[in-house]
Each structure stands twice: as structure tokens, then as C-alpha cells.
Structure 1
Amino acid sequence: MPAAFARMRLFQAVRRFSQATRDWEQAVRYMTLPDERFDLTKVSARVYGTRDEALVIQAAAGLDSPELELTERRLVLPMPEQLAAMKRDAGYDLPDERPAYG
């Protein structure tokens, strides 16, 4: 599956999750901070322990572009296990999709 298509499917899955998850359902609820306004990777690092999940933060926030301002708000994000399942279903971040280095 082409990487762009997988990214789009993951983005849509996270967006749907963030909009449909009810208050009592399992999810990460995170209140964004002022220093994260223009750096989605900070939210990613604080929630998931890695800066690699900025696309997930962008989708949950409903931002069309990572360059848009992330105003202070509560985000509903998938738990790490839920995110791993979403990635698998979307065909995202599979070993054959990663760029080869060296």
C-alpha cells in the first residue's frame, strides 16, 4: 500500500476516534499547553514518549496542516495499544514502508 494512502487512512481513523469516543471510554485525554501551539511534536513526546506521532496529534486536533496553530484544548487520543491497531489496519508504519538508509 502506498505510504500516502496509509497516512490518509491513519489520519481518518484517529480523527473518527477522537470525535466518537465518549467520556467514559478508554482514551488519552490531554490538555494542550501554550508552548505546543506551533509544535505538534511536543504533544506527541509528552503523550507517547516520542516525537514521531505528530500526525496523530494533528488528526485528533482536526488540523488540516501541521503548520496551523494548535489552540489550547482537550485532545482525545488513542491509547498506545489502540494506536498500534489503527496503524496496522491502515497499513501504516510497516517495515516495508520505511525508507532504507545507508
Structure 2
Amino acid sequence: MSQEKNTVATAIFYRQVRDFVAKTPVWGMAIRYQTKPDERFDMTLISRRIYGRPDEFLVVMAAAGLDSVEQELPEQLLVLPTESQLLTLKTAARFGNFG
């Protein structure tokens, strides 16, 4: 897959996670996670703690509303998609299933 399509899929996925966060009501199905001080500059820690793997840092970044991985993550309550919701978002964005 070309870099351009990969970039487009990444942007779509990021937007979908942002929309998920904005539209999920307090009682809605989602993972709620209070960030910790040791995660300020390492979103892979949250990814590992929530999803069991470090590679979902983009989900964390989008949920926190950050523009880059270099930005400091303030302590806050994140609303994150469950594994099944995450798979649905990735499939819709064609993110991660290149080939």
C-alpha cells in the first residue's frame, strides 16, 4: 500500500476515535482510564495497560486529543474503545489491514 493511502487511513482512524470519544455518553460502552504521571510522555504505557500491547498509542493519542506523540499527556480520564469497538473503527478506516 502506498504511503499516501496509509496516511489517509491513519487520518480517518484518528478522526473516528475522536468522534467515538465525543459521542460516547457517560453510560455508554467504553473503557474509561485515568492516566498516571508516568504516562505523560509515553502513551505506549497506556496502550500496554489497556490493550496488552504497545502499538495502540495512536488510539490513546486521539482519545486525549493530542496532535503528536511528542506532546505531553495531561492527567485526565480517557474514554477508549473496547477491543471489539477498536476493530470496528480500524476496519471502517482501512487502518492496519493493508495488503
TM-score band by shorter chain is: over 0.9
Matches of 1:15 and 1:75, distance apart in 2: 11
Cα separation, 1, equivalents of 2:45 and 2:19: 22
Structure 2 stretches lacking a partner, 5+ long: none
- Which residue of 2 is the match for residue 93 of structure 1? 96
Question: Which whole-Å CA distance do the structure 2 matches of 1:10 and 1:91 have between them?
Answer: 8
What is the RMSD computed on CA atoms of the aligned residues? 0.9
Distance 2:69 2:22 in 1: 19
Per the alignment, residue 69 of structure 1 pairs with 72
Unaligned runs of 5+ in 1: 97-102
Q: Write out per-residue CA displacement over residues 46-96 of structure 1, whole angstroms, 9 at most, x where no aligned residue.
A: 010000000000000000111100010000000000000000000011141
How far apart in 1 are the matches of 2:15 and 2:77? 19
Aligned length: 96
Q: Distance in 2 between matches of 1:8 and 1:70?
A: 20
1:7 corresponds to 2:10: yes
Give the partner amino acid of 1:71: P
Percent identity, aligned pairs only, is 47
Q: Which residue of 1 aligns with 2:59?
A: 56
Give me the TM-score of the superposition, normalised by structure 2: 0.94
